[in-house]
Amino acid sequence: MKKRVVVAMSGGVDSSTAAWFLKEKGYEVIGATMCIGMMDKAQGVPVRCCGLTDIEDARRVALQLEIPFYVFHLKEEFEKEVIQYFCEEYMKGRTPNPCILCNEKVKFGSFLKKALELEADFIATGHYARLDLNERIGRYLLKKGVDRKKDQSYVLFSLTQDQFHHTLFPLGENRKEEVRKKALQLGLRIHDKPESQEVCFIQESSYHSFLTERFKQSIEPGPILDKSGKVLGRHKGIPFYTIGQRRGLRLAKGKPLYVIGIDREKNEIIVGGEEEVYSDKFVVNSVNWIVPQKMISSHTTQVKIRYNHPGSEASISPKGENEWEVKFKSPQKAITPGQAAVFYDGETVLGGGWIKEVLSRGDS
């Protein structure tokens, strides 16, 4: 009997081509798109993804591939797990990564649950990553996609073994240009559809108005200070700033200044020179290990501190309950609380967690 797989189709080229690959491999393929309640336009601004246009694009591809198609309504789940988290993190003076929570809680959470209700064996996505079942240890290992420029293993570090057990990544062995070429050959109208690069539920060019609309009464201006405590100016509100930010400070001090600290309790932004943006030691909490912790023979790994960070050599050591201290061999720019730190051994993801606090800076 054919294995049944529900493909999370976003209406883009990756998930559409993934559905074709799986059908070619002999799976019973079903297409499904998440509806998270986003309209096509708000105040004249187009939605970046997950809107009605994307649902219709996915539906047309499913029709062309001759596979069944469903729409999973996940507005409440998305609001609770992703949007609320996004807002709360910024209000705390942290910088969130909503894509990771969307993967963990919605795509590989609520979406997977609905797929299993359709008696599916797997779900599949268009992520550029690979899974390898290591039978010796009885665990799935997450590995980088072959296309290093498109590798998305970073945003998948928090998934569980059970989620991996029900997941396929058909594009992990492919390169992006190959995927677009195949979509063109298949005559899929979305073969040249642009990728969504921004947060899908933010329709404006900036997230500021989104937060202002939700927390207008809670966002207060405050002082911008240097490290000595001298007041240099005023900020518009803690949620509008992130570590390493230069633009929007409105400070004329003869040299570029950057955000090097955010004190939510005192409602203060601390700024300094570019050299002060660099840090080499920080704490990670809520760590999820994909490779069993006891099997990590060396505590020297490559660590990525954001999606587009190339990764850098660091030592990691246990600090407390599910907390680890990370010490980079050389200081890195803008280590930011709220972002994920993901540990690699070559192409294999060991695990990762969330940056809790920075312990030292490059100038210390």
Q: What is the CATH number of the domain that holds 88?
A: 3.40.50.620
Positions of E strands within the chain: 4-8, 28-35, 41-42, 45-46, 69-73, 122-124, 129-134, 139-144, 167-168, 222-225, 231-235, 258-263, 268-272, 278-289, 300-304, 312-320, 323-333, 340-345, 348-361
What whole-number percentage of the chain has pLDDT above 90? Answer: 82
**130 and 14 inside one domain:** yes
The pLDDT of residue 232: 96
The pLDDT of residue 46: 45
In this model, does residue 49 exceed pLDDT 70?
no
The pLDDT of residue 44: 42
Residue 348 resides in a domain: yes
**229 and 107 inside one domain:** no
Mean pLDDT throughout 192-209?
79
Mean pLDDT throughout 241-257?
91
The pLDDT of residue 143: 98
3-state secondary structure 43-92: CCEECCCCCHHHHHHHHHHHHHHCCCEEEEECHHHHHHHHHHHHHHHHHC
The pLDDT confidence band at residue 194, using thresholds 50, 70 and 90, is confident
**153 and 179 inside one domain:** yes
Domain closes at, from 127, 159, 185? 185
The pLDDT confidence band at residue 293, using thresholds 50, 70 and 90, is confident
Domain closes at, from 134, 160, 185? 185
Residue 199 resides in a domain: no
**27 and 167 inside one domain:** yes
d(CA 166, CA 144): 18
pTM for this prediction: 0.93
Catalytic residue among 49, 50, 87, 200: 200
Residue 105 resides in a domain: yes
Mean pLDDT throughout 276-290?
96
Mean pLDDT throughout 68-83?
95
The pLDDT of residue 103: 97
In this model, does residue 179 exceed pLDDT 70?
yes
- pLDDT tens-digit profile of 204-226? 667 898 999 889 889 999 999 99
In this model, does residue 276 exceed pLDDT 80?
yes
**86 and 153 inside one domain:** yes
The pLDDT of residue 252: 80
Q: What is the CATH number of the domain that holds 257?
A: 2.30.30.280
The pLDDT of residue 295: 74
**94 and 238 inside one domain:** no
**73 and 13 inside one domain:** yes
Low-confidence winner among 163-177, 219-233, 296-310 (lowest mean pLDDT):
296-310
Residue 177 resides in a domain: yes
The pLDDT of residue 71: 96
Ranges of H-type helices in the chain: 13-24, 52-65, 75-78, 84-91, 98-101, 111-117, 161-165, 176-185, 208-215
The pLDDT confidence band at residue 320, using thresholds 50, 70 and 90, is confident
| Nearest C-alpha neighbor of 299 from the set 280, 286, 317 | 317
Mean pLDDT throughout 314-340?
94
The pLDDT of residue 50: 61
Residue 202 resides in a domain: no
**268 and 294 inside one domain:** no
Q: How many domains does the chain have?
A: 3
Q: What is the CATH number of the domain that holds 351?
A: 2.40.30.10
Residue 263 resides in a domain: yes
**290 and 263 inside one domain:** no
The pLDDT of residue 298: 72
**167 and 266 inside one domain:** no
**251 and 290 inside one domain:** no
Residue 343 resides in a domain: yes
Q: Which domain holds residue 37?
A: 4-185
Residue 355 resides in a domain: yes
The pLDDT of residue 182: 97
Q: Please, what is the average pLDDT of the chain? A: 92
102 is catalytic: yes
**287 and 242 inside one domain:** no
Low-confidence winner among 19-33, 67-81, 289-303, 322-336 (lowest mean pLDDT):
289-303
In this model, does residue 45 exceed pLDDT 80?
no
